Structure 1
């Protein structure tokens, strides 16, 4: 595919970071460079991630890495953290203490690191990252979060 996608190393693993125009093409075709990115049943989830990252593009990037044994690309949300990109899973949670509900970035979902040359070191690093608290009441959140939305969104 001839586009302006960038290749970066994340935890020693090459990750392609497509432009938003390229993501639109991927959403239409379901492939990148002729290799599947998602199935019809997961298209909506990928579209939601693209929309989320577009809205939060100053903080997040959305990449693809090779799932060689699966013969498809795997979608990877990443949070800009200092001078590096941190693998994260975007989750929607509610605070157990107040009425806040929103998305968080969870870095400790182990499947995020499968196939990375530095898998165990990267996951250990993620476990040691400082955690966010609820943006409203400052209570510890029920899920590990290194980023949380600061306002309610639809």
Structure 2
């Protein structure tokens, strides 16, 4: 365990909010119990599960944000690189409507992931316009609005 300094973390702006994108080594340190600026992270169980999925993809990243809406706590986010920009996503199970593929997908259509954005409604509406991906097996339509799907 250790202490990370937010000033040394890579920050970007997503949906008008400062987000800290963690490198692989920073992600591992945080998941092993490191705190940031002396503030412990409130929940690491779910992000540890996410890390198993994120670490296998070049397009996904573990990130953190903090502000008035997070009550001063660091909250985890999953980001997906779409083109040259990171977008907020939620990881969940998806299914192909054409074949029997089921697997992990990333969807930007979850209200909770926009906590901290100054205009959550606008951010959510922008997410609706992101390009969707098809089934990684057959290219068919997935049952949810997915901007990323895990390869089998």
TM-score, normalized by length of structure 1?
0.82
CA distance in 2, matches of 1:53, 1:73: 19
Instruction: Tell me the residue number matched to 2:14.
Output: 10
- SS of aligned partner of 1:125: helix
| Structure 1 portions without partners, runs of 5+ | none
CA distance in 2, matches of 1:52, 1:74: 18
Say how many residue pairs are matched.
Answer: 147
- Superposition deviation, residue 78 in structure 1: 0.8
- Say if 1:133 and 1:140, in contact at 8 Å, map to a contact too: yes
- Superposition deviation, residue 8 in structure 1: 0.9
- SS of aligned partner of 2:74: strand
Instruction: Tell me the residue number matched to 1:68.
Output: 68
Instruction: Tell me the residue number matched to 1:107.
Output: 108
Cα RMSD (Å) of the superposition?
2.1
- Superposition deviation, residue 29 in structure 1: 1.8
CA distance in 1, matches of 2:5, 2:41: 17
- Superposition deviation, residue 2 in structure 1: 4.0
- Superposition deviation, residue 126 in structure 1: 0.5
TM-score, normalized by length of structure 2?
0.83
- Superposition deviation, residue 30 in structure 1: 5.7
The runs of at least 4 consecutive aligned structure 1 residues that moved more than 6 Å come to none
CA distance in 2, matches of 1:21, 1:116: 27
| Structure 2 portions without partners, runs of 5+ | none
Q: Residues 33-112 of structure 1: matches in 2 within 5 Å? A: 33-39=37-43, 43-56=44-57, 58-69=58-69, 70-112=71-113
- Say if 2:103 and 2:150, in contact at 8 Å, map to a contact too: yes
